[in-house]
Each structure stands twice: as structure tokens, then as C-alpha cells.
């Protein structure tokens, strides 16, 4: 005897809307300026959740003049800074792309960018040199009061250059 089975409906998971930001957009989103503005473009940004970014590494970067002048390598702290700036773009995007801005949303979105509070388990696995293009990734974790945990990665092509965790402040005081 055959038993009837109710047809199963596949529930398609709705893909979150993503955004891309040019270097000019990023200048409006972040308080950083040359020579400390480290990211050239952000894409696949899911506001408040995750994003990817690009940092094109040029021999003209000011740190190359003094960081191993005979063997130019990008300092690890600058790679971390680039990843932290992508994190800021992801959480500022949440303010900018919200359907209805909150009453306390600042007129200047860059004013909401906080500080890097902690670097954990950061591992560097490849030298980054002039001519490389860093692909950055950030996934925001849970909020801990005024802090936020984040997982970050930086790659050159298919090679991992750095990965670890950051804690960032979600507001600026001071």
C-alpha cells in the first residue's frame, strides 16, 4: 500500500541586498585621509554584516621609504589598518542604507567611526609588496556594549596574507 506524502516546498532563502562603494564614497564614510586612507573600493557589502574591499599596493606608499627600503614590504600594522577600515565601511553602511535613518544618526556618517580596540590571533602568512592587490574581507560578529567583534582576512590572489580577529569601538569619544 502506498502512502501519500505531502509535497515539500522549497523555501528559498532571500539573498541580502549588497552595496558597492567607490573611493569617493569611502572618503565620505570614513574620517581617514591620505596617507592613512587604506582602501580603494568596497563591494559585496551587506550593511552591518560583512563586506569585501580592495587595497592596491603601490610603491609610492609613504611607508615604503622607511620600511625595508632595499626590500619593500607592507607593514603588518598597515594591513590590519586596511582591514579595520573595511570594518568601518560595513558598519557605516548600516547607517546609510537603513530604510529610515534613526534620530541619532549623525549628519556626517564618518563621525560614527570608532577606534580599533584589540587585535587577536592575527597571523601573517605572506609578504605584501608593491604591485600586489589585497582583497580584504570582514565579517562583523556580536555587539558587546559599545564594542564589536570582527573576523578579518586579507589575500593576494588565492594566497592568504593575514587573518585574525579585531575588536572595534562602535562610537568615537573624545
In whole angstroms, give the CA distance from residue 45 to residue 29: 13
What is the predicted pLDDT for the residue at 13? 75
| From 27, 41, 67, 126, active-site residue | 67
> Got the DSSP string for 35-46?
TS---SEEEEEE
Catalytic site residue 71?
no
Q: What is the pTM of this model?
A: 0.88
What is the three-class DSSP state of 154? strand
Q: Containing H/E element for 24?
A: helix 23-29
pLDDT in tens, 101-126: 666 666 788 888 999 999 999 999 99
Write out residues in the chain with pLDDT < 70, as ranges: 1-12, 101-106, 174
In whole angstroms, give the CA distance from residue 126 to residue 57: 14
What is the predicted pLDDT for the residue at 33? 93
What is the predicted pLDDT for the residue at 1? 45
Amino acid at each position: 500500500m502506498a502512502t501519500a506524502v505531502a509535497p515539500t516546498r522549497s523555501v528559498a532563502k532571500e539573498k541580502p541586498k549588497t552595496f558597492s562603494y567607490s573611493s569617493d564614497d569611502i572618503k565620505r564614510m570614513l574620517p581617514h585621509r591620505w596617507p592613512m586612507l587604506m582602501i580603494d573600493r568596497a563591494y559585496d557589502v551587506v550593511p552591518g554584516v560583512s563586506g569585501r574591499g580592495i587595497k592596491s599596493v603601490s610603491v609610492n606608499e609613504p611607508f615604503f621609504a622607511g620600511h625595508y627600503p632595499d626590500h619593500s614590504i607592507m607593514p603588518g600594522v598597515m594591513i590590519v589598518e586596511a582591514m579595520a577600515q573595511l570594518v568601518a565601511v560595513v558598519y557605516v553602511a548600516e547607517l546609510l542604507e537603513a530604510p529610515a535613518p534613526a534620530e541619532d544618526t549623525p549628519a556626517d556618517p564618518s563621525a560614527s567611526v570608532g577606534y580599533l580596540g584589540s587585535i587577536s590571533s592575527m597571523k601573517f602568512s605572506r609578504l605584501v609588496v608593491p604591485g600586489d592587490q589585497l582583497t580584504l574581507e570582514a565579517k562583523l560578529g556580536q555587539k558587546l556594549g559599545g564594542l564589536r567583534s570582527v573576523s578579518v582576512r586579507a589575500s593576494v590572489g588565492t594566497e592568504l596574507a593575514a587573518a585574525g580577529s579585531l575588536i572595534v569601538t562602535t562610537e568615537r569619544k573624545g
